[in-house]
Every structure is written in C-alpha cells, then in structure tokens.
Amino acid sequence: MSMAYEGIGRGGLRDGGRGGRDGGRDHNKRPRGGGDGDRYHQGGRGPRDNTPRPTECEVMTNHNKLDIVMDPVNVEGPCDYDIFRFKVEFKNVRRVAVNDPETGTDTVNFEEQEMRADDKSKKRFFSGPMPWRVIKKIITEQREKDSNFILDYDGAELAVAPRHSSLNGQITENGTIHFRVRVKADCEEDDPEANKVRERSFAVSLTKTTEVPFSQIMNAIRGGNTSTEDLTMIINLILKSSAKLSGMILLDPRSPTVYFPLTEQERMIGRRGLPEARDGTSNLIAGVSQTAAFTKNEQIGSGGAFVVTQTKVNWADKEYWRLSDNHDDDRNWIPLLLNGRNPRIAGVPIISTEQPLDKDTINLVEKALAKIRFNIRYTIIKSDAERDKAMRARGKTQAEIEDSRRKVFKDQGISKDINQDPHVRIMRSARDYTFKWNDIDITVSEYYLQKYGIQLQYPNMPIVHVKKGWFPAEFLHQKFARSNDANDRDMIDQVLRYYDGHAGSALMQDVIEKRRTLLNQIRADGLSLASRLNFYNLRISDDPTCLKAKIIQTPAIKFRNERAQLRDGDFNLKDAIFSKPAALNSFVVVNFARNNQRSCADYVQTMLRVAVNHGIEIPYVTMEVARNYLENVTVLYSGSHPVNDALDAVGRAIEMAKKVYIHDSLNIFRRNNDLFKTFCYNECQCTIECAVLPPRSVNGSVGLLLDYNKLSSTRNPNAMSDNMAMDRYFSHKIKRRNGEEHYARLKIRITQTDTRIDPLDFRFSKGRHEAIRRSNGEENWVTVNFIGYCYECRDTKNTGVILDVVEEHDVEAFSYIHNICDWEVECPSLIISYHPDKDKALYDKVKCVTNQIGGYQSQIAVAETFERQKNKNQYASAVLTKLNAKLSNPYNKAVSWKSICEESVGDVDSIPWVAVKPTLVVGIGMAHGLGNCGETVVAASVCLDGGCMRLSHCCFLQQKSDIISTGNIKDIIKTSWKEFTAENEKCPERILIYRDGMSDGNFERADGEIANIRSAISEILSDNSATIPITYVICQSQHNIRMVPKDETQGNRRGQTVNVYSGTCLDHTVMEFGALSVTENDRNNYDFLLTPQAGIKGTSKPIYFRVRINENSELDKKTLEECTYHMCWKYPTATKAVREVPAVKYAKRLANQVLSGLKNFRDGGSTWFGKTFELINPQDADENGEIRPYIRMTTVDGEELGNMFNVVDLPFRHHLAA
C-alpha cells in the first residue's frame, strides 16, 4: 500500500496541521522533522539529521522457516511422507425414477452426469464455493470413520495426500477412489438458514497421477539444487487448503488470501466494531496470505524453504446489519433495495421508490445485479389451514409451521426468462407486468397479495428473474461476498488508515499475531494448520527470519546553483535553479472549471512566475500574454458534457494559440520587433528550431526561418533531402527594386556591432532587446539596440559566400522559402487543462486528445487541489519538475537535476555503469483491457543519455497477453535504438532491459522476448552475426515480501512509522530460485530486493529484481544494484527516490493512459482537423503470424493517410508520460 502515498505531504501533525519548523526528536535523540501531515498538506521537515548514513542494517522479514519435523528412517525408498497427487473429477448425481413394468412400481436410481470441459456451468462451478463444500464434506465424513484420513485440495482439479493417509488404502487397481456425498446446494452446512436450502448430490473421483518422494522435499527444504516448481505448488496447496477447511473465509477462489471468521474479525482488525462503509452495508475484514518460497545461496550457506505471510484487508458486503443480529428477524437482513434519503437498488441511485424507473436506470440496475449474487427472502402471511393441519399430523410444532412460511432462496443470480420474447432479466415494475393466474390476468403485486397475503411495500419497483421465477426487487437481499465497488473515497481512506496503523515495524507484529492465530485455528475435522502440516512431517518456525541487509549510498543530486541536501530518500526545490531548464515558448488554456476563472488565472501566473525562478525560459511575449491577454489564449468551457466536448474544446484552444503566436493577432511581436520562436517538423522526420515569419495581411502566407547551425534529426538521421539541405539556410526569395532576385536569410542590425544578428539569436525580454554573445565557447545574452531588418544574400551552391546585404527598404517583393503549410509547427508548446475536480473520465479524454490524437504536451491541473494549497509556490515547484521534463527536446536537453556518482567524469550527469559507454536502457510496462475482450498496451521508455532522466517513449497494441508479441518487442528495440542513436550520434554498445509485469510462471517465456531482441538488433545492423550484450531484468512489484528494521533504532522514522532506509537492499538467503536462466555457476547470484523509497506512510515495499540473463560481464550484482538505485532518484515528477525504476514507472503510466483512451478510437474513431483516427483490429495475421491492432488515419473523405502502430509518436517532445 505504500505506493498509494507517493506525493503525500511529508510533514505536519497527523490531524492535518502543517507541523512546526523544529519538529521533534525520536527516542534516539535524532531530529525527526515536523510529523506526518495529512494527505493534503506538507509541513515542516524539522532540523536536518546529520547522523552518518549507515551502510548496513538488520532487517526482519515476513519469512518463517519451513522445516522437517524429523528425518525419516528410510528416505531413499518408499516413505510415509511421500506425497501422492490426485486429479479430482466432479459429477452431478441426479435421482431418476424408473418404473418396473412387472410390478408397476417406481424405483429410485442415481445417475451420474459428467461436466464437459467446455461447459460454462463447469467454469461457474469452479469459480464458486461448491467444490470446497463437497471436499470438506468428504473429509469430515471420512475422518469420523478414520482419524488418519488426510486430504488437501486446491479448489479446482488437484488434491494431495501423504502416503500414510488412510485415503491411499482405498485406491483401486486402476488408481482411482470414488466418493458420493450430499451437500447444501446454495450455502454452507453451518449456515443459519441451512434448513431452508435443498441438497445436491455429487460423485467425486480421485485419480492418482504422480508421487513426489519425500527425499526431494527434504533436499529442497535444506537448500539443495533441485526443481522446486512442483514443490512450491504442493506446499501452497496445503497451506491454502488447511486454512480454508479450518473455517477461514475465501473471497476469491483463485487467490491465496484467506480471511478470518466474522466472529474473529474485531480482534483481528484491532478495534471494537468493524470499520464500515458510510451506508453500513460493507465491513472491512482482515485476512492473511501464505505462500511457499524455496531459496538457495551457496555463498552464505543458507537458504532453503520459507513460508511468506502477509496481512490483508478487504471490503466485504454484509448479509445482516450487525453480527449480533437475530438471523430469524427479516428486519436485520440487508436488502438490495434501500429506501431513505438516498434510495438505490444494488448500489444504483434512483430518484424515488414511489414511481417506476426510467429505461436508463433500469439498464444500470440490470448491469449491477448481473455482477453479484444475492439471496431472496419473503414470508407468507396468508395461512393455509389444510397445509397446517397436515403438518401437525406429521408432528410439526406451531413454531415449525410458522417457520415453513418463511421462504429463502440463497445464492441467486439474475437470468433470462426464456418464456418471454425477447428474453429479459428485469421488468419495469410489479404493477406493470401481468400474467395468467387461475384464468384471470393479474399483476405481480396483486398475485402476491391474493395468493400469499403479502402487500408489496414498493409495487412500482422492478421485478427480476432468477431460475426460481420472477421476484419483486424488495425480496432481494445482500449476500456475503467481496465488495465489487470499494472505490469510495471514505472506503479507500479506511483501508489506508488500517495499513498506517500497522506499518513499518508494527506490520511485522501484526503478521506474527495473525499467523499464530491462523496456525492454531481448529479445522472442522478437528485439526489445526500446525497439526495438518505435521502429517506431512513439516513445521513452520514461530520466529520470523532476520537478516543483514546493505544500504546503498545515495548519489549526489545537483542543481545548476547548488547541491541538493538529501534527507533519507528525498530533497526539496527551494531556491533551486534547474540543472538544464527548458523553454516554454507558447501555451494555451482550456478551462473546464468555468466557476473558477480567477483560480485558473492564478494557477497560470503562479506557474510561470515560479518557472522563471527555477530557470525555465519564458519569453517576454508569453509572460505578457499571461498577464494581460490570458483570455485570448483561454477556452472557457460552458457546456454540460465536458468529456464528450473535450476534443472540440482542445481544438479551439489550439486555433486560438496559432492566431496569437503564429499570426500575431495581438500585434505583440511586431510591436516589439521580435519573432515567435518554436520548432518545426516535416515529412523528412527532422525536428528543427525555427522563427515564425508572420503574414503581412490577414490572408497572407506564413513563413519559417530555420536554424541551420543546430539542425537535429531526432527521428530519421540523414533523412534531409538535397533541396532542403541547400535551402535550410535561406528564409526568403527577394526581389530588389532594381529587379534583381536573390535567395536570402533575414538578419537584424543592431547599434553595438556591424555583425548582423540571426533572428534566432535575438529576442525581446524585460522591456529591452537582447542578443547572444559567443565567447570562449560560452553563450550569454546581452542588451542591444535594435536598428532594423536586412537580408543577407548568399550563393545557393555555397552558402558560405555572401553575395550582398539588402536593406529592408530596398526590397520590392519577397516570398518565403519555407512555407508553414509544408511543416508541422509546435504551437502551442503546452496545453494547460484546468479541471474542477479529479474526474478520471475527463482526465483520460484530455490526455488522449492531446497526446495521441493531437501530438501536443499537456498539463492537467485540478482547481480543488490548487485552491487548498497553503503554499502555492511550493506546489508549483513540484509541478514544474515534470513540466521541465515534458518541455525537454534535442535542443535544450532539459533536466531538473543531475546525479553524480563515483564514475562521473567532471560534473556530468551520470548513472553508475550506464554512463561509462553508450548503453541502451529500456523500461517496458504493460496494461491489459478488462474482461475477455480488449487489447494489451505495451509501452516502453528509453533513456536518451547516461543520466537516465531524459526519456523517449513508444507504445504498441497487441492481442491480450502477458508476453510481448514478436512484432512489438522488435519495434520497441528498433524505435528505442533509433531515438538513442539520433540523440547521441552513436550506436549503443550494450543493452539493459527492465521488464515489468511478468510473473514467475512466465519466466521461461521471457527467453522468447530475449531472442526477439537479438533478432531486432541483427536487423538494425544488417548482420545476423552481430552481438550486443544484453542484461534482462524482470521487475516484480506485486509480491508479498516485506522487510522492516529488526530494531526500530536502526530504521528511518517518519512520525510513528519506522521503515528501512531508502536504498536498503537484500540479496541473499530469501532469494527464490528455480526459474532463472543464468549460468549454473552464477545461478541466483543476481536477484535482489531493493527499497529505493523512504516510506512516508505505510510500509515500504521493495521491488523484487530478477535477472533472467546477464551478458555484460562487467555488470556484477553490486554494480547493478547501485545502478538501479541511482536511477530511482531520476524521476522528474517527484523530488525523491521512487519505488520503481523511472523508465518502467513512466512506461506503465503511459500504457494505462493509452488503454484508457482507446475507447475514443472505436466505433468510427475521432476526427481532428480533417483527419479521422480509428482503431483497427485486423482479421488476418502479419508476417510473424500475429494480429496487431493499430490506429488508421484517413481524411474525412476516406482517403488513407497511414497506419500508426506506435500510437504516441510525438514529433517535437520526447517525454510524454510525466
């Protein structure tokens, strides 16, 4: 959960105050800073802690040693503790009445029906609780007969048992055991309403498949070199099975997390009364996950087997309002139809329960009900005298007769009524739907009144269909299950508060307590988890594993004017001038917060003012526009559907920017004798700095003056045409009054020198003109006096030969050499989108429009966030670090700070090992569409230099998969290679890949990706024998490993939380093995756990780095750890070391942004300035046998303009996801 706190204030009191300047001291008398602050405010840091940073520390992990109880006498031959594996097969058993023709009587037979593998009902069966219910009943019944009966089950089709279990004595000659059992169909056996639920019969077959010798288990547990994949699966099965069968709750059959019984929850949560959602229908419940880990470390002589335990909390829908409620009282069950101040059905708000719902609301209710299971309850009021008399005759008491009138149908779901046309699942109201009953037409509400004496309380509410028939919505009640929608801000805050209260060192105490409770939880068959493990000759140590970890030293962080003062894991920007500031040449604003016009203006002016303080270049004209003409570059949105209208609003804003900056509609450039400087891009894929030559009339053409000294081809080196190479010097073709024609370049005369000044070296700033003076390799702006324009004419075949200089007044006519119509011109440089709140839909739409469709950089600002800032300058500084990254380009190479390491040459921005020779560092992240449909987005970030802070991005689509397709991984490498080579004017000599999103089960499939990387390199170099050393590192962020200081005095204290120091690295003992493709001698020597971030709240969670292959011989483990940690300080969005390598973090961010925006390209796509962008999912495979979605561009008339496989190809700016 620590990720949720990135960006939260680092100071202040826990109740939200900003904290004092001096802070306090901890029990070691070290300065502690100003406290934690709340999620909105940052307080004082307190005096700096000058205590030397330690180089190592003792950490406590959530690993408990898994060991053998005793050595078997005969471990080499058959052993009592050998484990048998069984395939489990379930069959439905149906009672069939068979008539005997001789006697005329019916006999009852039982017919077994197999579940087909492709049967949807089989998938539903294994996704629910029924398999567990069946196996639990078998175990309970068999153990009543024989206490030596042991069986553990995985919830699907696998079970295990030790050789000495009495189960094995029942195996038939063909290796199969058969059971038949009856269980409650829709609830647990001990459910308070179990007597209301019918039973189902099942036949279960266990077929023995393989044996796992105990010698193999013992060898792995003691750190031997053996395959552990099967053993890991078996131990995980035993842990999960034992927990589930002991009465723990399983909310997700596929997850290893089990939750404590409801009666234990208050003790597990640690408070009286469980945390509840605002409406009281959901509780926060606690549980644990346990997984096995087999490790090996020959250097230290330790390792072996561990059980990794992690505490979890989750929201669960309650069945009744309070645990102590009487289950026989219908008032205590939680209905799905809640009336009151905010009426709703299944969480969907409705206007009123007194009138039928409209069609749209009906559809929403149907979708909500389709996602959940529920219970149906109602009580028959009208008595049936004959039925009551018959029940008394059978010996039933009056209480039993009354109870029989209470109807309960558990675990129901809506289904289509095949008798209706069309087949429907929900109808508008109980008063509207009529049917035949006793030969009369009757409504549902009348039917319940006449037949059962039930007066419906909400007859205007819908009725829903389940397998049992149609029922009014008011009969539907909530079923205990995991909450589908737990994204309410209050619910998220309660989860975070729980983790805050059990963070750092306190987390490990919580793990110990919950693990001990779980270990001693008594199963339904009378066994605890501990005693169950004992049957397998296994035990789990009571004590968590404590180890020595190293603390990697931090890099030196430097701004242009000072060296940053690092506090453990972070620093601040006060008075800092960025190391290489960018320039903001133009901007435009789209204000969706129409009621916050003053706030929007304050935001823009604050940002520009603070940007200047940090060294970002803001041209005088841009500042003047912000101060005096902001309304001329602002679209004030006044509609009611901002998401739908975002495309049009952004388009109008861009048109406004072009009028002001390119066409000089405010006459600012002419008035100040200056030109608008920006960047341009043409079909040759060359990015060039330029000055815009505005039109002389309203309909006149616009020209460009190109920078011929610093020409940069960022996309396609050497792609300049011969004509363009010749013409790039010239800006005009002039005709003199004497009739002579020349090719010329516009120049500026000043009083200070006879040398003519190039317009790109001239500007109007702070009320005066300035020009660049070059001396001794340095460039400085100096004040000059403007005289006028002139034209420098040169030989078209040799631009070094000056033919003449023509004054402006001697020119009769001219035309532009480079017309703006032939170029893409960056205007605006930045789109500022001001939003009223954090509505994700609007954010996603604006990012899609600006980044993917328009090709512009954008900055989203939220009015409510900006307005609550007490220190707006500090807030602006934090935003400007990522803005500086967004404005970085091949000319300014902007970075906010640089890091200096021991290998740095002079004051050069560098990362250990990476900066020594040209190294291609690429981070890859993925995002997957929801459900069975949708695409996978694969994004990559490439580091453009040895400092690893300047990034370029690419992004591709594929069919849903965790493995990157051949075409995509090749395109990622080729695109990254091209960007790196263009930036550095040399090819990379080695490659370092950080790959996110790969689970343990896919490690072997990573070899295919590595092979495709090699293939891409061969294609780039046109040499099949070419070899570039590759290091391929898998970054696992989703794992259960935690480490905290063993002694709180050795940790980093922030408020009440004590975490490990930033840079804490653990690379031994608990490193898993068995799936890595490193040489046998170095096997497992490269993996490490790294905690780069300093935990502010919650528990700092490390990233697990798994090295699949390392061909760079000079990159040892220590260097890789150092290199990785130093990279984590180069995240432009935050002034701290972040948890993930920034190249990976940005790739994941971009992948999720693109995934969220794909909906805008479906169903006809989006049209932008005469171009239509549409997502195409081809039917046919390409040459690699793959189907790769892409964005097709066409004109409004249908003419194809090209296909975008890289869906974020921005021409001007590299850094996209900041």
pLDDT digits (tens, 9 = 90+) for 267-283: 898 877 788 888 889 99
| Token pair listed for 417 | 């009524």
- Confidence at residue 253, expressed as pLDDT on a 0 to 100 scale: 84
Percent share of the chain, pLDDT over 90: 59
Q: At what angle do helices 130-145 and 120-127 cross, to 10 degrees?
A: 60
Angle at 21 between CA 20 and CA 25, to 5 degrees: 80
Burial 468-487 (b: 16+ CB within 10 A, else e): eebbbbbbbbbbbbbbeebe
Angle between helices 620-628 and 597-613 in degrees, nearest 10? 160
- pLDDT > 70 in the chain, percent: 89
Q: Please tell me the distance from the alpha carbon of residue 1000 to that of residue 998, in angstroms, as a whole number.
A: 7
- CA distance readout (Å), 291 to 59, 82, 522: 20, 21, 20
> Per-residue pLDDT averaged across 863-874, rounded?
94
The mean pLDDT value for 875-898 works out to 92
Cα distances (angstroms) measured from residue 612 to each of 578, 606, 760, 957, 1057 = 10, 10, 20, 39, 37
Q: Is the pLDDT assigned to residue 1054 strictly greater than 90?
A: no
Taking 70 as the threshold, does the pLDDT of residue 21 lie above it?
Answer: no
Whether residue 14 has pLDDT greater than 60: no
Structure tokens, 325: 């409620």
Euclidean distance between CA atoms 662 and 861, whole angstroms: 26
Q: How high is the pLDDT of residue 711?
A: 53
Tokens of 344: 């709703």
pLDDT at position 439 over 90: no
pLDDT at position 1, please? 33
What pLDDT, on the 0 to 100 scale, is given for residue 901?
84
Cis peptide before 422 (omega within 30 of 0): yes
- Give the tens place of pLDDT for each residue, 1170-1187: 899 999 999 888 877 888
Start-to-end CA span in the chain (Å): 22
- Which band of pLDDT confidence, cut at 50, 70 and 90, is reported for residue 932? low
- Average pLDDT value for residue range 853-877: 93
Average pLDDT over residues 144-156: 92
Asked if pLDDT for residue 118 goes beyond 70, the answer is no
Separation of alpha carbons 296 and 430, rounded Å: 66
| Spatial distance between the Cα atoms of 844 and 842, rounded to a whole number of angstroms | 5
pLDDT at 891: 86
Residue 813 · residue 1133 · CB < 8 Å: no
Q: What is the pTM of this model?
A: 0.88
Average pLDDT, the chain: 86
pLDDT band at 568 (very low <50, low <70, confident <90, very high): confident
Q: Is the pLDDT of residue 26 over 80?
A: no
Mean pLDDT on 590-601: 92
1209 neighbors 1150 (Cβ within 8 angstroms):
no
pLDDT of residue 95: 81
Please, which residues have CB within 8 angstroms of residue 745's CB and are 6 or more apart in sequence?
Answer: 705, 729, 730, 731, 732, 758, 791, 792, 794
Rounded to the nearest angstrom, the gap between the alpha carbon of residue 1120 and the centroid of all alpha carbons in its chain is 25
d(CA 540, CA 306): 8
User: Which amino acid would we find at residue 923?
Assistant: G
pLDDT at 12: 33
Cα angle for residues 440, 443, 446 (degrees, 5° grid): 90
Host H or E run for residue 203 = strand 199-212
